[in-house]
Copies of this chain bind each other. A is one copy, B any other.
Amino acid sequence: MPRWEPDGVGRLQAAAFELFAEQGFERTTVAEIAQRAGLTQRTFFNHFADKREVLFGLGSEFQEEIVREIAACADTLPPLDVVVRALQAASDTMFEERRAAVTRRQEIIDANPELQERELSKQAALIHAIAAALHARGLDPETALLTAGAGMLVQQTAVRRWTQPAESRPLRELLSDALHSLRTVATQTTDQRVVPLET
């Protein structure tokens, strides 16, 4: 996977996001993106398989980083904390400096049903990767999948807040806030059963 390079990937991505916003995703060509970035189409294809990958290409890097962080996290932490800390670490390195680009990317995806479907597929794949990483730490598969799903809920809630125009707090902090919100939602319940002892 290409690393984030301001001189190549970054310029192409900025150009693509501008054009997608100006004239729509469907009507933008790779030739136009390369031209706007002042680069050749060959350089574009060195970094991206197609124009859709400009929006989704960094997803695998994000996933790898999260899986790595989960594997490296202290054994003593509860599973959902492990996931949220991994999301925070990946946010610091991959998202925090790119709030405007992430916001613009989200607007482009929200405007196109086909891109929304791809985003949902990527999220589902990320949930399964997180669950596998938790299972590798010894969590049973069912709890691993539930915890991964809860982690993605936290991530989505935090990113939605982070990309609001009036929001200036770092994503790391909003992830903590969203975890706290999920905890509040889950505990305000009439489900009064006692947690059974492990047998």
Contact = CB atoms under 8 A, between A and B. Distances in A.
Interface in A109-144: 113, 116-117, 120-121, 124, 142-143
B79 A188 contact: yes
A147 B116 contact: no
Complex copy number for this chain: 2
A interface majority secondary structure? helix
A185 B139 CA distance: 12
A41 interface: no
Nearest to A157: B146
Contact of A188 (B80, B153, B178): B80
Interface of A: 77-81, 113, 116-117, 120-121, 124, 142-143, 145-147, 149-150, 153, 156-157, 160-161, 176, 178-191, 193, 195
